[in-house]
Amino acid sequence: MLIRCSVPFCSPAAARPLPLTFHRAFDMVHDPAVALETLVSLGFERVLTSGCDSSALEGLPIIKRLIDQAKGRIIVMPGGGITERNLQRILEGSGAEEFHCSARSSRDSAMKFRNTCVTMGATISAPEYGLKVADVSKVRSLNAIAKNTL
């Protein structure tokens, strides 16, 4: 089990003996190298990051630098936009041994009644009567890619 902490006053000691992961709030920092050292000094075991960019693929250079800087003191886990199409490149390009992704796909809602006169703010990319769900086949595919890469 992982506990994710995004507030600056959260102490890893409060979660012991569980491992503590600092989530993608890390991607909002001014200086990722300094922030990584802060997380190490606080006792975090892992940081989830897109390399301070919009996706892990785009942030790959920073993720690689953070992993090199960490020297095994903290796990740097790429996350953000990871798919079957880019996972191998991210793992090989960063040297990461773990990753995070949603592995979701869309499916139609089981709602029987649909009021076509009302929208709840949905856009074209998020249909009003659609759901995002974890996709077992994507999880299996991503795991296979990781096993072949690592």
pLDDT tens for residues 44-71? 999 999 999 999 999 999 999 999 999 9
Average pLDDT over residues 109-122: 77
Residue 34 has pLDDT above 60, yes or no: yes
Residue 23 has pLDDT above 80, yes or no: yes
- Model confidence at 95, pLDDT cuts 50, 70, 90, reads very high
Q: What is the mean pLDDT of the chain?
A: 88
Pull the structure tokens for residue 15: 């979660």
Q: Which of 11-15, 115-119, 140-144 has the lowest mean pLDDT?
A: 11-15
Query: How many CB atoms lie under 10 A from the CB of residue 108?
Result: 9
- Model confidence at 2, pLDDT cuts 50, 70, 90, reads very low
Residue 44's pLDDT is what? 93
